Structure 1
Amino acid sequence: MLQKLTIYILALLLFSCEKIIDLNLKNAPQRIVIEGTITDKEKQCYVFISSTQTIDEINRFEGVQGGAVSITDSRNNTYRLTEVEKGVYYNESLKATAGETYYLKVKVGNEIYTASSTMPPTKVNLDSITVTYNTIYSNYTTTAHYTDPANEENQYLFSIYKNRKKYNSFYVVNDEYSNGKTVKQNLPVFSKEKEDLIYKGDTVKVRMSCIDKNIYKYWYSLEAGARGGTGGPGSFGSPGNPVSNIHGGALGYFSAQTNQTQTSVVK
């Protein structure tokens, strides 16, 4: 969701050709937001359609109903997504194949929005996670363990859950400094809220997604916009306008990605 997210960039990558534009949500006209994902597993193909909100409503999902949503693969097979609730579109059986490009088409009213995303050719395994107490952060820190393939570019998106509740934190990483290496990726949670702290007995889950370069740019630029928020680096005030791969004037993204998880009980 384009809401109050916290995203921590763990590897730097500059995009000189892109420009980040801050949005003034108080005065800006409403725009369509499309957030679509297709993964390497069935029952994980969703497209969420919503509209931008005022600052006072930023935590509320305002779904847009009545859209026509389809995904076409590179062999010209087209799959329809069904609206299962307001603004939520779903295909139960569609899953992505490594290296294949998928094309999203969304029609809302008289407007048509399109996007494409290529499934990464290599599914990098999330080997394990560990959760250890970190005296610097005065909290438990989760570490993801994986081996980055050599001689190819890879990008990763990490999400963390505690007791089945997803944190509003994303970590986006590339392999600029870890190509071909065994990686121990720290994923600290910086929230000071008591309910966000990790305690003994908690169940922590990490989801690692292999994403294409355009989706990496999206999350990276979203973090860049977040730096202008009143909460300082890594926190959101008014979100910026990230580098979207959606064409037609909508905000958001469409991502073909792998998903895999590992779980650990804190001892």
Structure 2
Amino acid sequence: MKNITLFLSLFMLALTGCEQVIDYELDEDTEKIVIEGLVTNQLGPYTVRVSKTLGYLQNGQTPGISNAEVTISDDKGNSEVLQAKENGIYQTKDLIGTIGNIYFLKVKVNGQEYTSQSYLKPVTTLDSVTYKFKEKNAETDEGYYATIYFQEPKGKGDYYRFNIWVNEEQEDDIVAIDDEVYDGNYGDPEIDIALQKGDKLRVEMLSLDRPGYDFLRVLGTMQYYTGGPFDAPPANAPSNISNGAIGYFGASAATVINSTVE
């Protein structure tokens, strides 16, 4: 199985600059185009990275492609050709992500065209945080555990991604949920991190479409796959890019809450 490093900050880590190694089963002589990008309802610029897979025996960050033509448009007639930066990075200048719009990505590389689309779904508001102190036991570290609260809209089919920072350092866990448990009710998930008094907590909640949720769920499985005798082999991460490219293009709305343990 081939390991390649994707700049998943563009999607799953919401522009934090982190990277994630993903396993793809690639033929020895296969070279794939890798495309990663995200549009949000936050201020831009938004970033798309275009790269290609390394040789079969090479692992690491995929080399950027500098001669691509990258365009993002929406279903309201807005369109922008992204500006090329370094290492296969392309960025918007004026585009503003809007809830309810469908965003279309088109990438042209060496005469080939790759496309994708994503619906920028609304996200509910994180309205409060509470803390509960727990003593140390066989399964729990001693500390304060945060519960976040939000009103989940009625109607099945909502998906969310959570990013968590403690004292300005982002946690690595990939947390993506659907609305099976909370549909139409008040959500109250507990964050499984032992905090101490004075710790600063930041939680970001992003809306996902179904392909984005499926993508992150597979990545979450990969994150904790150890290769042990009782582990099922992880599936390839899905891609919503056409023409055989791998990676992901998504659109998300974000809501953030900040709190300090007192």
Q: Would you say same fold, with TM above 0.5?
A: yes
Farther-moved stretch of structure 1 (158-167 vs 243-252): 158-167
Q: Percent identity?
A: 29
- Match of residue 33 from structure 1: 34
Describe the shift of the 1:49–1:258 C-alpha distance in structure 2 as closer, same or farther (beyond 3 A).
Answer: same
Describe the shift of the 1:245–1:200 C-alpha distance in structure 2 as closer, same or farther (beyond 3 A).
Answer: same
2:232 is aligned with 1:242 = no
2:197 is aligned with 1:223 = no
**Post-superposition offset of 1:157:** 0.5
Q: Provide the C-alpha distance between the structure 2 equivalents of 1:223 and 1:262, rounded to a whole number of angstroms.
A: 23
- Match of residue 127 from structure 2: 127
Describe the shift of the 1:201–1:52 C-alpha distance in structure 2 as closer, same or farther (beyond 3 A).
Answer: farther
Q: Provide the C-alpha distance between the structure 2 equivalents of 1:152 and 1:213, rounded to a whole number of angstroms.
A: 11
1:15-164 map, 5 Å: 23-24=24-25, 27=28, 29-53=30-54, 57-58=59-60, 60=61, 62-120=63-121, 122-130=122-130, 132-134=132-134, 135=136, 136-138=139-141, 140-164=144-168
**Post-superposition offset of 1:239:** 6.8
TM-score by length of 2: 0.76
Structure 1 or 2, whichever has the larger Rg, is 2
Query: Does the CA-based 8 Å contact 1:226-1:239 persist in structure 2?
Result: no
Q: SS state of the match for residue 85, structure 1?
A: coil
Query: Does the CA-based 8 Å contact 1:146-1:182 persist in structure 2?
Result: yes
Describe the shift of the 1:97–1:240 C-alpha distance in structure 2 as closer, same or farther (beyond 3 A).
Answer: same
Query: Does the CA-based 8 Å contact 1:42-1:93 persist in structure 2?
Result: no
- Match of residue 177 from structure 1: 181
- Match of residue 209 from structure 2: 212
- Match of residue 16 from structure 2: none
Q: Provide the C-alpha distance between the structure 1 equivalents of 2:78 and 2:151, rounded to a whole number of angstroms.
A: 34
Query: Does the CA-based 8 Å contact 2:25-2:236 persist in structure 1?
Result: no
Q: Provide the C-alpha distance between the structure 2 equivalents of 1:249 and 1:133, rounded to a whole number of angstroms.
A: 50
**Post-superposition offset of 1:248:** 1.5
Aligned-residue CA RMSD (Å): 3.4
Which digits, 9 at most, give the CA deviation of each residue in 1:41-71, with x for residues without a partner?
Answer: 221522122334578744x464332322111
Q: SS state of the match for residue 168, structure 1?
A: coil
Describe the shift of the 1:232–1:242 C-alpha distance in structure 2 as closer, same or farther (beyond 3 A).
Answer: farther
**Post-superposition offset of 1:203:** 2.3
Query: Does the CA-based 8 Å contact 1:48-1:87 persist in structure 2?
Result: yes
Which digits, 9 at most, give the CA deviation of each residue in 1:112-147, with x for residues without a partner?
Answer: 211001111x33111133455544431554432111
Q: SS state of the match for residue 230, structure 1?
A: coil
Equivalenced residues, count: 241
Query: Does the CA-based 8 Å contact 1:171-1:187 persist in structure 2?
Result: no
Q: Provide the C-alpha distance between the structure 2 equivalents of 1:233 and 1:242, rounded to a whole number of angstroms.
A: 20
Q: Provide the C-alpha distance between the structure 1 equivalents of 2:45 and 2:145, rounded to a whole number of angstroms.
A: 28
Query: Does the CA-based 8 Å contact 1:3-1:239 persist in structure 2?
Result: no
Alignment gaps of 5+ in structure 1: 8-21, 190-196
Alignment gaps of 5+ in structure 2: 13-22
Describe the shift of the 1:130–1:83 C-alpha distance in structure 2 as closer, same or farther (beyond 3 A).
Answer: farther
**Post-superposition offset of 1:233:** 9.3
Which digits, 9 at most, give the CA deviation of each residue in 1:140-183, with x for residues without a partner?
Answer: 54432111011352110011123333222221011112111111
TM-score by length of 1: 0.75
Describe the shift of the 1:172–1:77 C-alpha distance in structure 2 as closer, same or farther (beyond 3 A).
Answer: same
Describe the shift of the 1:131–1:232 C-alpha distance in structure 2 as closer, same or farther (beyond 3 A).
Answer: farther
Q: Provide the C-alpha distance between the structure 2 equivalents of 1:127 and 1:28, rounded to a whole number of angstroms.
A: 51
Describe the shift of the 1:210–1:4 C-alpha distance in structure 2 as closer, same or farther (beyond 3 A).
Answer: closer
Q: Provide the C-alpha distance between the structure 1 equivalents of 2:241 and 2:118, rounded to a whole number of angstroms.
A: 10
Q: SS state of the match for residue 186, structure 1?
A: coil
Higher RCO (CA-CA < 8 Å; seq separation 6+)? 1
Q: SS state of the match for residue 222, structure 1?
A: helix
